[in-house]
Structure 1
Amino acid sequence: MLFWRVKPLDAILATAEKKALHRSLGPIQLTMLGIGAIIGTGIFVLTAEAAQKAGPGMMFSFIIAGFVCAVAALCYSELSSMVPVSGSAYTYTYAVMGELLAWMVGWALILEYAVAASAVSVGWSGYFVGLLSSSLDIVVPPALASGPYAGGVVNLPALLIALLVTWLLMIGTKESARFNAVLVAVKVTALTLFIALTIPMMKGVNFDPFVPNGWGSVGVVGAAASIFFAYVGFDAVSTAAEETRNPQRNVPIGLIASLGICTVFYLLVSAGAIGSLGAQPVRGLDGEMLMPGTVALADRCAALTALGTEPLVCSREALAHVLRSVGYEQIGNLIGLAAFLALPSVVLMMLFGQTRIFFVMARDGLLPEKLASIHPRWKTPHVVTAITGFFVALTAAFLPVGKLADISNSGTLFAFFMVALSVMILRRTDPTRHRPFRTPAVWIVAPLAVVGCVGLYVSLPSDAMLVLPVWGCLGLLIYFLYGYRKSHVARGLTEVHEDDPDAPPQPVPPMPDAPTPGYKQA
């Protein structure tokens, strides 16, 4: 039942051969691509969320989350080099484990991309509001600057930026490679400046106690489950495998280098923030633990801020707040400006990724094919982009960034879990298939990815853990009511790929009895 309706891998590979993408990317380009995709809301905003759970111990949280991402990335690379087409983990699972599980992965990827776009929008809102206040003395009313979780009504800036990016995607605006390079430089320069200013100001007393809430789900490991969001985006490296020179060598270099560089940045940034200002969790009046994203924490933070002492864990613009608090007011504003400029591009990338997943699922017949329609003038999937953007804006308007990040992580961890399983299954069922990149020590790396994903998932807050099975049940209902009957594979058709978007679906070619030895990919 689980492994039925497997999409023919040979048909997918034949499409990839027709595309014949030029192999031009080297290790440096891949590393820069990874850094640009990874650095975003996680470090600029979620530092405060992690500090509330782990205190100074969040430095260990960054290491744990980075390690799980590294082993998952190596699994991701093998499949992306074998199936170098749109669809991400959804397409890989379809080719290996069948339609039902592929649908579940695609449905879970909504939590990764769409909810992540909402989280980044909320993170951008915090820096936007802080920048207006500190630089222009414009105060956004609290009722319009945060959702009900913090005593507000609606997070209007987050709502507007999500709608703006949606509109840009609908009319076909694309980022150039040069613009992306500029944004990477802005983010890296901002973090480097932060490190250079705060590391010399570190005080040992600010690191004591180092693990105030222990190592469990409300401590270091729980913070790792949340800060995992800071690394999401590394799969941009693995999905570029078909355009990479010598992918067997350069893909792992790009993956490990980008993850390694970002982990070092994150450790230095967190050390600077902790050492210069302190990052102990805020507790209730009776000493109880207050969870991030709750009204109780928001009320306690409001009371402390009214007394003139706003802790790091209470700030919605963590890095800018640290610099302002230690005497670098104007440079803090510049850090806020850097986040203000760079984070919308992350929203765009997440929204683009989500619409692409929906687009491929609609062309597979698992969603209404109207969603895959192309605007005659803009040449974009405008229907699915508009629907996705509306729901992204809605969730950004009312939910806190920490909650959104945790929900996003639940979907991402499930997708990575399935990718690791797929790698092991395909090694057994199709061992002779040509693999431009092979996961090293796969029987160690893939199980570590599986265990790591499960471990971080069960360390998420209970409400974020429950979202995944509830969301999954809703997805199954939609699948059996619609996708089960409308699927192109069930009807003997194969989907259209990027090289010919206007062509009708074609019959699935007959599958050989055994894999073709020595198969070579274009």
Structure 2
Amino acid sequence: MLFGRTKSLDAILATAEKKGLHRSLGAFQLTLLGIGAVIGTGIFVLTAEAAQKAGPAMMISFVIAGAVCAVAALCYSELASMVPVAGSAYTYTYAVMGELLAWMVGWALILEYAVGASAVAVGWSGYFVGLMKSWGLDIPLALAAGPDGGGILNLPAVVISLLITGLLIVGTQESARVTAILVLVKVVALTVFVALTLPVLNGAHFEPFIPNGWGTYGVVGAAASIFFAYVGFDAVSTAAEETVNPQRNVPIGLIGSLLFCTVFYLLVAAGAIGSPLGAQPLRDAAGAVLAPGTSELTAKCQSVVATGLAEPLVCSKEALAHVLRSVGYQRIGDLMGIAAFVALPSVVLMMMFGQTRIFFVMARDGLLPGKLASVHPKFKTPHVVTAFTGIVVTLAAAFLPVGKLADYSNSGTLFAFAMVALAVMVLRRRDPARHRPFRTPAVNIVAPLAIIGCIGLYLNLPTLAKLVLIVWGAVGLVIYFAYSRSRSHVGRGIVEVDSDPNLQPELAQKPAE
């Protein structure tokens, strides 16, 4: 049967106990990791793209995207507390709806995390280049942007991607400590931004509030793009297998980090809109709104600056620093650039962290080559797949622009989130008696809302981003039927885990001192 291969929850939990990763993360660390994954490119970089689509109504866009994530988070929390293993939506789908759909979800998550990490790396590069320019050091365009941005290679994005890859190979605990420091930097920076911009907020800049309507290049379209600003929260669930008392701590980390970040997003958006720059979209000579990330918008931005006016918010690659400078805080604007410079790498880290753990668990199930699940004898991390992921992330960051990367990532994310919500409803009917440490409230309302919300946002992504998911999915199906299906442990009737200690981090011998 095409959809008949399911892996029982009991088998998944037994596998995790025998071939699990070291449990070292608590609720506080998970919440910090969640905040570190969420606050990043969406608010630091994609604010400009959201403004070009929705104008001041991007505040509504943040609420829409956050609401969809909130209902998805409640579904994630139930499954993550029941099945506290690596793999996130992939593992949940395997247990409930079968191997084929699980493969497709895992394949979509690869798109989410790898491309998402590349997007954040490119966003970091924009702040780094802007900061250097403020200090009198102009990085040549050829080395500061990919071909779509008029350059050849985004060298800063390449460097940060490679550094994060090395950090993840060293180990999760070290990564968590670094992330805790960077989360503090981001929270302080955004608090300062709110404190300096809200007192001088100009209410007139909120009119017209909805200049482009509600469509793809309006409020809902902006929500579909800045959905990327929230997606990091599900990376917390991929760390469930490395969490102490996951039944309690994973739901706290998921929901706590999401609520914390939503408040910040709305306050920061209000400060940016009310600044002297405003947030009104740029239009062509005929009055039509220009699509973000196009050469036409770039030309319009250049023409505005050439007249001696300040660069509009919708044109900036370092939006928050640019806003502070426009309010008269030149040096504090530089400090915001420094905050982004040191903090955005934590988002790259969490995206790559989630990516490697998805690869790890899919290889552990036999759907990908077992070598990918190898664990480093000293660092106890999946170093092979981490290195492979780092190469892919680096190449994408070197040549592609941030807006397109974010939209591509969103397409995979929305598919995975919808499958999680569906899995919750199916499992409630199929196994109602199973212990649920966290139960999604009003599941017959919350789960359908999550599915409808994900589909609605997907349909409002740019056409190319929607096609990326379809093409990526088709490639995944070819790989599944050509390689993975015949090698699947479930398909071959393998219940017990492999005895190879390299695939069992908990059993592997420690190296001699």
Task: Give the equivalent residue in structure 2 for 1:224.
Answer: 223
Whole-Å Cα distance in 2 between the matches of residues 469 and 236 of structure 1?
A: 23
SS at match of 1:214: coil
Summarize the Cα distance change of 1:496–1:50 in structure 2 as closer, same or farther, 3 Å threshold. farther
Summarize the Cα distance change of 1:368–1:213 in structure 2 as closer, same or farther, 3 Å threshold. same
Task: Give the equivalent residue in structure 1 for 2:462.
Answer: 461
Is contact 1:244–1:251 with CA below 8 Å preserved after alignment?
no
Is contact 2:96–2:423 with CA below 8 Å preserved after alignment?
yes
Summarize the Cα distance change of 1:49–1:494 in structure 2 as closer, same or farther, 3 Å threshold. farther
Is contact 2:377–2:502 with CA below 8 Å preserved after alignment?
no
Q: Is the counterpart of residue 118 in structure 1 residue 118 in structure 2?
A: yes
Q: Is the counterpart of residue 34 in structure 1 residue 26 in structure 2?
A: no
Task: Give the equivalent residue in structure 1 for 2:509.
Answer: none
Is contact 1:129–1:145 with CA below 8 Å preserved after alignment?
yes
TM-score by length of 2: 0.91
What displacement does 1:200 show? Answer: 1.0
What displacement does 1:386 show? Answer: 2.4
TM-score by length of 1: 0.90
Task: Give the equivalent residue in structure 2 for 1:168.
Answer: 167
Task: Give the equivalent residue in structure 1 for 2:326.
Answer: 325
Is contact 1:488–1:494 with CA below 8 Å preserved after alignment?
yes
Summarize the Cα distance change of 1:239–1:475 in structure 2 as closer, same or farther, 3 Å threshold. closer
Whole-Å Cα distance in 1 between the matches of residues 170 and 71 of structure 2?
A: 38
Task: Give the equivalent residue in structure 2 for 1:517.
Answer: none
Whole-Å Cα distance in 2 between the matches of residues 493 and 236 of structure 1?
A: 28
Counterpart residue identity of residue 13, structure 2 = L
Is contact 2:90–2:102 with CA below 8 Å preserved after alignment?
yes
Summarize the Cα distance change of 1:257–1:228 in structure 2 as closer, same or farther, 3 Å threshold. same
What displacement does 1:37 show? Answer: 2.6
Task: Give the equivalent residue in structure 2 for 1:481.
Answer: 482
More deviation in 109-118 or 375-384?
Answer: 375-384
Whole-Å Cα distance in 1 between the matches of residues 499 and 34 of structure 2?
A: 23
SS at match of 1:310: coil
Summarize the Cα distance change of 1:173–1:140 in structure 2 as closer, same or farther, 3 Å threshold. farther
More deviation in 69-78 or 153-162?
Answer: 153-162
SS at match of 2:282: coil
What displacement does 1:238 show? Answer: 4.6
Whole-Å Cα distance in 1 between the matches of residues 453 and 230 of structure 2?
A: 14
Whole-Å Cα distance in 1 between the matches of residues 204 and 198 of structure 2?
A: 14
What displacement does 1:81 show? Answer: 1.0
Whole-Å Cα distance in 2 between the matches of residues 121 and 24 of structure 1?
A: 25
Counterpart residue identity of residue 9, structure 2 = L
Summarize the Cα distance change of 1:34–1:352 in structure 2 as closer, same or farther, 3 Å threshold. closer
Is contact 1:127–1:339 with CA below 8 Å preserved after alignment?
yes
What displacement does 1:180 show? Answer: 2.6
SS at match of 1:433: coil
Task: Give the equivalent residue in structure 2 for 1:520.
Answer: none
Whole-Å Cα distance in 2 between the matches of residues 494 and 321 of structure 1?
A: 57
Q: Is the counterpart of residue 421 in structure 1 residue 426 in structure 2?
A: no
Task: Give the equivalent residue in structure 2 for 1:368.
Answer: 369
Whole-Å Cα distance in 2 between the matches of residues 345 and 24 of structure 1?
A: 16
Is contact 2:87–2:238 with CA below 8 Å preserved after alignment?
no
Whole-Å Cα distance in 2 between the matches of residues 364 and 56 of structure 1?
A: 47
Counterpart residue identity of residue 200, structure 2 = M
SS at match of 2:3: coil
SS at match of 1:493: coil
CA RMSD of aligned residues (A): 2.5
Task: Give the equivalent residue in structure 2 for 1:144.
Answer: 143
CA deviation map 1:387-446 (0-9, x unaligned): 221221111111111111111011011000000000111111111111111111110100
Is contact 1:23–1:245 with CA below 8 Å preserved after alignment?
no
CA deviation map 1:67-105 (0-9, x unaligned): 000000000111111111111111111111111001000
Task: Give the equivalent residue in structure 2 for 1:103.
Answer: 103
> How many residue pairs get matched?
501
SS at match of 1:444: helix
Unaligned runs of 5+ in 1: 505-522
What displacement does 1:17 show? Answer: 5.8
Task: Give the equivalent residue in structure 1 for 2:280.
Answer: 280
Summarize the Cα distance change of 1:76–1:333 in structure 2 as closer, same or farther, 3 Å threshold. same
1:216-295 correspondence to structure 2 within 5 Å: 216-238=215-237, 243=243, 247=247, 254-276=253-275, 277-295=277-295
Is contact 2:84–2:246 with CA below 8 Å preserved after alignment?
no
More deviation in 489-498 or 352-361?
Answer: 489-498
SS at match of 1:175: helix
Summarize the Cα distance change of 1:246–1:16 in structure 2 as closer, same or farther, 3 Å threshold. closer
Task: Give the equivalent residue in structure 1 for 2:508.
Answer: none
Whole-Å Cα distance in 1 between the matches of residues 246 and 80 of structure 2?
A: 14
Whole-Å Cα distance in 2 between the matches of residues 86 and 252 of structure 1?
A: 15
Task: Give the equivalent residue in structure 1 for 2:74.
Answer: 74
Summarize the Cα distance change of 1:235–1:410 in structure 2 as closer, same or farther, 3 Å threshold. same
More deviation in 16-25 or 382-391?
Answer: 16-25
Unaligned runs of 5+ in 2: 506-513
Counterpart residue identity of residue 314, structure 2 = V
SS at match of 1:447: helix
Summarize the Cα distance change of 1:503–1:273 in structure 2 as closer, same or farther, 3 Å threshold. closer
CA deviation map 1:269-325 (0-9, x unaligned): 011001012011112233222111112212222222333331011111110011112
Whole-Å Cα distance in 2 between the matches of residues 316 and 455 of structure 1?
A: 28
What displacement does 1:233 show? Answer: 1.7
Is contact 2:205–2:274 with CA below 8 Å preserved after alignment?
yes
Is contact 1:363–1:495 with CA below 8 Å preserved after alignment?
no
Q: Is the counterpart of residue 354 in structure 1 residue 352 in structure 2?
A: no
Counterpart residue identity of residue 89, structure 1 = A
